[in-house]
Structure 1
């Protein structure tokens, strides 16, 4: 992603990750071929390789207008879909392939470094999970794009905006992950409603051994709230020092690890919320999902971040936030305390989704807040999530329902490979319809 100049107006950018599947619904490791050919036809977005050879990432560069972001995205995405189609392939847009995933991992120095640090047996898990990431520019005159870190003389008002935007993204993570969950199955086995989180983050609360960041949870688990801006700065510096120490142990320099040969001080975290080298707060906790859900999530995140910054909202973890999450009192937004957020909401979101009453109440409260701060003429993208909350049905629930229908209501905890392939074909075919629906959504409703 192109670095954001935070001296300009507030901007947003998106990153979408996909799996490649062949016309039989099997994972395909031909991403290099597709990326090489598609780059010639993509002019307004970037397509990049990921850690696995069956994965690709599409990036829409930052812009002040959400509508412009998605206009750019769809202009190029149709060209990408053409390239995928002529090669008898498809894009699978859910966060884990439901059956056995035979992805091949890359051995570039950056990925080799993570393999050595995280563990040879754990590292392939990174190639079996895809997500959706949304970027929001940091407040004006807070971030220096030349050194890729904060200016030393930020005024107090801007410090508070950075802090509250960061804490907001942490506070809403279990709701966003609930609404976007699309990974009930991992390697053919039913794990809950969000296998990707359990496999990836390294948090012991899920009871899942051998997760990607199990040995180094400080780089993968849900962030802790920061009490003030100085604490946030110290946290970022410590995280960077700790990652550099691990690289040093493997005799790999920070610049060798960098994506472009020059690593950033901030290229040391894969947590759900990140201060990125691009001058953004990055929300990266959500599963990848359908294009309409991506638009809805972008709208929710943009509306909240804009409101918190424009109205100088203080994001305050509190007992009120536990019992009545997202209650507004003057300029204070009450959010759940950290124990409730991590050990109840995050855990139950991944395992149970909206079957858990606390997760359902918390997610419903978030959407009520978003509706309240969004002008009525711009609420159309919110309908999708409102319907999910009303029906208590997410993409994960739909996938489980599909498997039950195919295999029987007592035989769905393991998905048969043929059923997984059939579902993958159905999913990749549906993306063409999703493009039409999503283009209409973005052109009519994303001016806010």
Structure 2
């Protein structure tokens, strides 16, 4: 994302959306390069980018102050892209993992070669089988040095507080927003949990999935710990970068060849929350989902951050937050402690989703807090997520319902390739309608 200059008090945001390419039979195809070559130049308001697998594409918006502006630009380009891809008899599949077998052709540039060697060949293929939605929120003005792509040494205390607050908020939100966005009950044809992508991606030991992407190097993919002091955040970044450089050296790959962004030490983490070389804090833990859900989540995150900054709210991990998450007392907003968040809520979210009472309560507490304190005028922002709670059905649950009806209620834990292809076509066909509905809502400033 290209940085844009704004007055000091203004903060921008941008989004990245990943997609799989499928053919008219609903099968994954490795044709990203031909799409990039032919259509990349046609996108003037967004950037169409390659990903680690040749079966994937990423669309990134340029940062802006206004949600309406960000989404207006995205809608214009995305509508054209859908049309152009359709002319090639291809479609975009936009859920966190393809339900059937997916054999990605992985790229071989030094960056990708290094990750394959460090993470393991079979583990690395997982990266080509998972797609997500990433939300970027700009760091406060005069905190980030774009020349060295890291923090300035002399940041004001109030700005340090803002950085920590957004970082810790994104971490605390992870089990809730990943539940609302979960769309990947199947991975390689097998039911792993309501969010199979997280199980196959992050490298958490308690998921007991030995071929997960970061199983060999979990420090680079598992859910973050909170940072209670600014130096703690900086030191954790430096430590992780040092460890990654050592791993690169073991495989004779220089950090300069590996990194996308010069020599930024920030290009050494793929955790659910990260400070990026763009000068943003990124929430990157969610499954990709419908454009409408993406826009709704953007509205929630943007308004939540503005609320805590405007009211000088402090994010406080505490036992109080375990039992009463998002409890507000004066200027303190209590969130769960790190161990409880990671080992209980994250696990239950990925495995059980809304079948877990703890997750229903956690997600419900978030929505109640937003409804009462944060989302004043545009209540439609929350509508999608309230309906998910009322029906107790995420996109993953809807996919499971479809497979149960198709294959039988006792025979759904392994999806046949035929069902996967049929389902993929059915879901991809809904993309354009969903885009039009979301565009109309955006024009009314819903998000």
Alignment correspondent of 1:319:
319
Alignment correspondent of 2:135:
134
Alignment correspondent of 1:174:
175
- What is the SS of the residue equivalent to 2:444? helix
Whole-Å Cα distance in 1 between the matches of residues 263 and 417 of structure 2?
A: 41
Alignment correspondent of 1:330:
330
How far does residue 405 in structure 1 lie from its aligned partner after superposition? 0.8
Alignment correspondent of 2:90:
89
Whole-Å Cα distance in 2 between the matches of residues 442 and 142 of structure 1?
A: 31
Alignment of 1:4-153 (within 5 A): 5=5, 8=8, 9-153=10-154
Alignment correspondent of 2:420:
420
Alignment correspondent of 2:402:
402
What is the CA deviation profile of residues 150-198 of structure 1, one whole-angstrom value per residue up to 9, with x for unaligned ones?
1111011111111111111000100010000000000001111000001
- What is the SS of the residue equivalent to 2:71? helix
For the aligned residue pairs, the C-alpha RMSD in angstroms reads 1.2
Alignment correspondent of 2:287:
287
Whole-Å Cα distance in 1 between the matches of residues 268 and 46 of structure 2?
A: 25
How far does residue 3 in structure 1 lie from its aligned partner after superposition? 3.5
Whole-Å Cα distance in 2 between the matches of residues 103 and 120 of structure 1?
A: 12
Whole-Å Cα distance in 1 between the matches of residues 362 and 2 of structure 2?
A: 34
Q: Work out whether 1:350 is the aligned partner of 2:350.
A: yes
Whole-Å Cα distance in 1 between the matches of residues 20 and 7 of structure 2?
A: 36
Whole-Å Cα distance in 2 between the matches of residues 59 and 372 of structure 1?
A: 32
How far does residue 264 in structure 1 lie from its aligned partner after superposition? 1.5
- Contact 1:21–1:91 (8 Å) recurs in 2: yes
How far does residue 446 in structure 1 lie from its aligned partner after superposition? 4.0
What is the CA deviation profile of residues 39-71 of structure 1, one whole-angstrom value per residue up to 9, with x for unaligned ones?
121000000000001100000111001111000
How far does residue 390 in structure 1 lie from its aligned partner after superposition? 1.1
Q: Tell me, which stretches of 5 or more residues in structure 2 are unaligned?
A: none
- What is the SS of the residue equivalent to 1:411? coil
- Contact 1:203–1:221 (8 Å) recurs in 2: yes
Normalising by structure 2, report the TM-score: 0.98
Alignment correspondent of 1:306:
306
Alignment correspondent of 2:193:
192
- Say how many residue pairs are matched: 446
Whole-Å Cα distance in 2 between the matches of residues 318 and 130 of structure 1?
A: 32
What is the CA deviation profile of residues 295-318 of structure 1, one whole-angstrom value per residue up to 9, with x for unaligned ones?
111111111111122222111011
Whole-Å Cα distance in 2 between the matches of residues 243 and 372 of structure 1?
A: 43
- Contact 1:219–1:269 (8 Å) recurs in 2: yes
- Contact 1:5–1:279 (8 Å) recurs in 2: no
- Contact 2:380–2:446 (8 Å) recurs in 1: no
How far does residue 83 in structure 1 lie from its aligned partner after superposition? 1.3
How far does residue 207 in structure 1 lie from its aligned partner after superposition? 2.1
Alignment correspondent of 1:435:
435
How far does residue 37 in structure 1 lie from its aligned partner after superposition? 1.3
- What is the SS of the residue equivalent to 1:282? strand
Alignment correspondent of 1:361:
361
Alignment correspondent of 1:339:
339
Alignment of 1:181-260 (within 5 A): 181-259=182-260
- Contact 2:162–2:309 (8 Å) recurs in 1: yes
Whole-Å Cα distance in 2 between the matches of residues 301 and 38 of structure 1?
A: 31
Normalising by structure 1, report the TM-score: 0.98
